[in-house]
Amino acid sequence: MALVLGFTLASLGWVPVQWNIAALTKKLLSYSIIGLGFGINLNAAIEASTHNFGLIVGSIFFTLSLGFVLTRALKFDHVTGHLIASGTAICGGSAIAAVAPAINARNDQTATALACVFVLNSVALFLFPALGHLLNMSQYDFGVWSAIAIHDTSSVVGAASAYGDEALKTATTIKLARALWIIPIALVSAVLFGGDKRKLNLPYFIGFYCLAIAVAHWLPQFHAVYDTLFMVSKRALVLCLFLIGAGITVQKMRASGPKPLLLGVMLWAAIGITSLVYILYFQ
């Protein structure tokens, strides 16, 4: 509801143009993710990350490789294609924001990739919980699947939160373990595209998220405070989804043309279906 409301207001032109929606969303999302860390069990986080390490690494390199092949097959701009593949492979907007300056991407190329990823994120919020219930997935399995197959961290925690608290904790942990791959992927991208490795834009909130988990583990006497922070962070994420919706308009979607969205959908379908099959039948 928050996402649709934001999108509706933006499409009607009721969002003040002087508001920097993207910057506000990024900052609020960072604080919300850190707050969620206080509700994550350290041992469970380590177990979930290590148990799914192969799936995390395999899905990243599978998506990036497929993105390279599809970009060439579609005869599409290779920079924008790599940004979309990076966003699909790792963590949506955060990955795009980190890789874009490293490969000297133009503003229009970055904006196109972000618009594509945000549209698919919006669809995932509604689609994934419905599919999870249809397939009768466990909280844990759904948390793993959403962390692998949904682009942006905000939409991962939004979809997982709608499914249940256990799904939310599993999804957040695995998603941020996956997001750590931003650093090596951005560095490799800078080398491949002849960019500047000094221009990396890294998401430092991941470190603070890990610190929050450690604090909650080593200082358990403040459990009531941690529960409150976790609850407030979940509410703040709803506001994040409203702001994301407020940054998407029909005009922006039309301006990017069909190829970016086609590439994004193909990559998303590939990683979503293959990871689902693996989780349900081989894990």
The answer for residues whose C-beta is within 8 angstroms of residue 130's C-beta and 6 or more apart is: none
The answer for residues whose C-beta is within 8 angstroms of residue 211's C-beta and 6 or more apart is: 37
At 271 the pLDDT is 95
At 136 the pLDDT is 95
Average pLDDT, 10 consecutive residues per value, the chain (283 residues): 82 80 77 83 80 91 95 90 93 80 79 82 90 96 96 88 91 86 83 68 73 90 91 84 74 71 94 95 84
At 249 the pLDDT is 66
Closest-CA residue to 267 (of 56, 54, 109, 59): 59
At 210 the pLDDT is 83
Question: Of all helices (H) and strands (E), which one includes residue 251?
Answer: helix 250-255
